Amino acid sequence: MGQSTTPGPLPPLDPPDARSAALAYIARGWAPLPIPTRAKGPVSPKWQALRITADQVDLYFPPGHPSNIGLLLGEPSGRLVDVDLDCGEATILAPAILPPTGMIHGRESRPKSHYWYICSAPPSSVARYTDACGGTIIELRSTGGQTVVPPSVHPSGEQVVWDAAGAPAQVEIEHLDRRVRLVAATVLLLRVGPTADQPGWPRFVDAVRDDLRAAGHTAEEIQLVISALAEVRS
What pLDDT is stored for residue 125 in this prediction? 82
Helix (H) or strand (E) holding 22: helix 18-27
Task: Write the CA distances from 37 to 57, 193, 215, integer angstroms.
Answer: 17, 41, 44
For residues 101 and 209, give the distance between their C-alpha atoms in angstroms, rounded to a whole number: 27
> Within a domain: residue 179?
no
Q: Is the pTM of this model over 0.85?
A: yes
What pLDDT is stored for residue 45 in this prediction? 84
What pLDDT is stored for residue 234 in this prediction? 78
Report the pLDDT averaged over residues 74-99. Answer: 96
Domain that holds residue 45: 18-171
- Condensed to tens digits (0 to 9), the pLDDT of residues 52-80 reads 999 999 999 999 899 999 999 999 999 99
- Condensed to tens digits (0 to 9), the pLDDT of residues 218-233 reads 999 999 999 999 998 8
> Within a domain: residue 142?
yes
Report the pLDDT averaged over residues 134-141. Answer: 96
Residue type, 147: T
For residues 70 and 101, give the distance between their C-alpha atoms in angstroms, rounded to a whole number: 20
72: nearest Cα among 124, 112, 4:
124
For the chain, how many structural domains are there in total? 1
The gap from C-alpha 9 to its chain's centroid, in whole angstroms, comes to 21
> Within a domain: residue 9?
no
**pLDDT at residue 9 above 60?**
no
**pLDDT at residue 15 above 80?**
no
> Within a domain: residue 26?
yes
> Within a domain: residue 139?
yes
> Within a domain: residue 86?
yes
**pLDDT at residue 141 above 90?**
yes
> Within a domain: residue 199?
no
What pLDDT is stored for residue 210 in this prediction? 95
> Within a domain: residue 58?
yes
For residues 62 and 64, give the distance between their C-alpha atoms in angstroms, rounded to a whole number: 6
Residue type, 109: S
Confidence of residue 7 (pLDDT cuts 50, 70, 90): very low
What pLDDT is stored for residue 205 in this prediction? 95
- Condensed to tens digits (0 to 9), the pLDDT of residues 156-210 reads 999 999 999 889 999 999 999 999 999 999 999 999 989 888 999 999 999 999 9
Which CATH number belongs to the domain containing residue 62 in this structure?
3.30.2250
59: nearest Cα among 80, 78, 32:
32
